[in-house]
Chain A
Amino acid sequence: MANANQNFYELYRSTSIGQTLADTLDELISSRRIEPQLAMRVMQNFDQNIAAVLGEKVKSRLNFKGHLDTYRFCDEVWTFIIKDVTFKMVDTGQQERADRVKIVACQSKDKPEK
């Protein structure tokens, strides 16, 4: 998933903020207001900035428990399917429940990447 040049994961493009950015760029490309290469550069900027903001600006912590239904480890990427999950926010004490959660995790930047 990581871009060799930028060394940032494209993982977060699947989030809502990433998808909305991609949709907006698609509209601009369709209307010929920007070039596709420029859109790619914007997405790379997004990859970099979201990782930076999440790493520096966010301080909250999370605990969760559940039943592991499926696990996969391939190309340094873990994929889990968890059933009957209970989330607990350490800061606020708020709890959430979900029947099925999919977790996709790339290797942390603290560890050297291939």
Chain B
Amino acid sequence: MSNLLVGDVYGKIIEAVIRDSKTEFEENGVSTATLSDLEKEWKHKLSQKDVAHMSWDPKPVPPQPVQQVPIPAQSLPSVATNHAQPSYSTYHQQPQPNGATRIKVENGPEQQYHGLPNSYPQSMPDGQGGQVRAAQLAQQYAQARGIAGGLALPGQRPQSMQPQNQTQHQAQQMYMHQQRQQQAALQQQQAQPRIKVENESPQLHQGGFQQHPRPPNPAYAQTDGADEGLEEWQAYIANRRATTAEQTERADHMMRDAVLQNSASLESGLMMTLDELPKGARSKKRQGKARAADKSVVAAGPSIPQLDGDYDEDEKPIKDEDDVDAINSDLDSEEDPTGDLDEDDDDFGDSILCTYDKVQRVKNKWKCVLKDGVMSINKKEWVFHKGTGEFEW
């Protein structure tokens, strides 16, 4: 007998079964395609079990190395660039005809922006149109930044922005502000001495900001758009903290439940003395009730910890040797023999299914003659025509 022959034998069995079933299928009006599918799927499942090399299995193909296509990272920034550029170009085009008008509207909030840390609540009422546009621009910049390489875009164009409208400045400034949120305190200190200077500049000229010296602090020129960004960021932070607090509390509850369960399982009575163990079938009923109760309690939360004690008492299963009323004997087997025989572990259990010709016993020596058997040993299958066994009981 050989494991290699099993594949041929199984192939013959499948052919015979399919051939004999063809008539049945036709009588029932089922198409032959279904029969073919049955055969294919049957072979496929058998091959998947990998208990033997089947006659229909192809030769093992060496695994091809997985070729990972490198994601062209360069294309992403280009996409971002292309995406951002039109926005810039539109900005360049649209505000130009109405540049003067818009500048006037947005002067007010821009004034207040320089006093950002101090006058933040004052920035809202005026220039809402500009703020809306700035918010939209900020979203676009955020998307561009999220893809890749978008960070560089606004920084690369500050000079081009300077001669343009203030709305463009606001958008850029919002973006810069979002990057520097952690430096808000520092900017506060820097902004305070500048309030006086910058409050005067927009009053002088509409393009006052354009003339404002940018190099020392480009973000300094940001105006009402940055106020909105700060407000949104603070709201976002508050939400995040609230969510984190909820999740932390929930996680604490989960951890506590898990710890209680573990402690209950550890204190399941295994370490308890015999005197403390309950007796008889009533204890089993109490086990069931206690378990059910305990499960519900655990599921509900740690509100009733005292039930753990009841659960511990009734957890250990009753054995004859522990029951005082049981009739014990040294001849009693420790294991339950029916459990061994009734075990159904196809995956891990080795088994032989066959017919017997003869089974003999002399004292404790057994001999048997088996026929037409299928063996499953160590996850491999074998077949035999005749088998002889000798064992000692």
| A contact set with B: CB distance below 8 Å | 9, 11-12, 14-17, 19-21, 23-25, 27-28, 33-35, 37-38, 41-42, 45-46, 48-55, 57-73, 78-82, 85, 87, 89-92, 94, 96, 98, 100-111
Contact = CB atoms under 8 A, between A and B. Distances in A.
B372 interface: yes
Contacts of A35: 28
B1 A62 contact: yes
Contact of B13 (A50, A78, A96): A50
Contacts of B386: 61-62
A11 B25 CA distance: 24
Contacts of B346: 14, 16, 19
A105 B370 CA distance: 8
Contact of B391 (A21, A37, A65, A72): A65
B16 A68 contact: no
Given A24-B38, A24-B45, A96-B378, A60 B383 contact: yes
A15 B381 contact: yes
B305 interface: no
A65 to B, nearest CB: 5
A66 to B, nearest CB: 5
Interface in B342-392: 343, 346, 349-357, 359, 366, 368, 370-378, 381-392
In the complex, the 8 A-B pairs of residues with the closest C-beta atoms, listed nearest first: A60-B1, A62-B387, A105-B356, A49-B16, A20-B45, A54-B372, A68-B393, A68-B391
A95 B393 CA distance: 22
A101 B12 CA distance: 27
A42 B24 contact: yes
Given A41-B21, A72-B341, A78-B359, A61 B387 contact: yes
Interface string B1-36: 110010001101110110011001100101000100
Nearest to B348: A100
B46 A20 contact: yes
A54 B350 contact: no
A102 B13 contact: no
18 contacts: A20-B42, A28-B38, A33-B34, A34-B34, A45-B17, A54-B372, A62-B375, A62-B388, A79-B341, A80-B368, A87-B377, A89-B1, A92-B2, A98-B378, A103-B354, A104-B351, A105-B373, A110-B371
B353 A91 contact: no
B289 to A, nearest CB: 35
Contacts of B34: 28, 33-34
B8 to A, nearest CB: 8
Contacts of B352: 101-105
A98 B355 contact: no
B41 interface: yes
Contacts of A19: 346
B340 interface: yes
A78 B356 contact: yes
A28 B33 CA distance: 12
B46 A17 contact: yes
Contact of A71 (B38, B349, B393): B393
B319 interface: no
B49 interface: yes
B384 A27 contact: no
A15 B2 contact: no
Contact of B383 (A45, A54, A94): A54
Given A41-B24, A54-B372, A94-B2, A24 B41 contact: yes
A28 B218 CA distance: 71
B2 A60 contact: yes
B125 interface: no
Contacts of B357: 108, 110-111
A66 B21 contact: no
Nearest to B359: A78
A35 B20 CA distance: 17
